[in-house]
Amino acid sequence: MGADDTMETRAQLLDAKVGIPESRADGRARRIKDLGLFFVSVFILMVLVGFSLLTLRDACTPDENRQWALSTLTAVFGGILGWLIKR
């Protein structure tokens, strides 16, 4: 057994999680909170995108509102792309 074997064994022993185990009730509450936040966020994004697309589609929309809608769509899709790349 060489020095490399000893270092590898130590690295395996030190690779452990430190923390308090999550109880079933806490895990369930966290999942409900996370799913609720996810669905509310998706709903808000859908409303923003839908409203922006309706604004862009309307022929009577002033140029200022069209610029607002384009900026909103750019921000939404940029945020989604950034979130996907980060993952």
- Ordered by start, the domain boundaries in the chain are 22-86
Answer yes or no: is pLDDT of 3 > 80: no
pLDDT for position 21 = 84
Whether 70 contacts 56, CB under 8 Å: yes
The DSSP line for 8-60 is HHHHHHH----SPPPPHHHHHHHHHHHHHHHHHHHHHHHHHHHHHHHHHH-TT
CB atoms within 10 A of CB 52: 21
Q: Which amino acid is at 18?
A: V
Q: Which amino acid is at 2?
A: G
pLDDT for position 16 = 64
Residue whose pair of structure tokens reads 């989604």 in the numeric block: 80
Answer yes or no: is pLDDT of 82 > 90: yes
pLDDT band at 86 (very low <50, low <70, confident <90, very high): confident
Q: Positive or negative, the Cα torsion across 41, 42, 47, 53?
A: positive
The pTM is what?
0.65
pLDDT for position 77 = 93
Instruction: Give tens-digit pLDDT for 16-72.
Output: 667 788 888 888 999 999 999 999 999 999 999 999 999 999 999 999 999 999 999
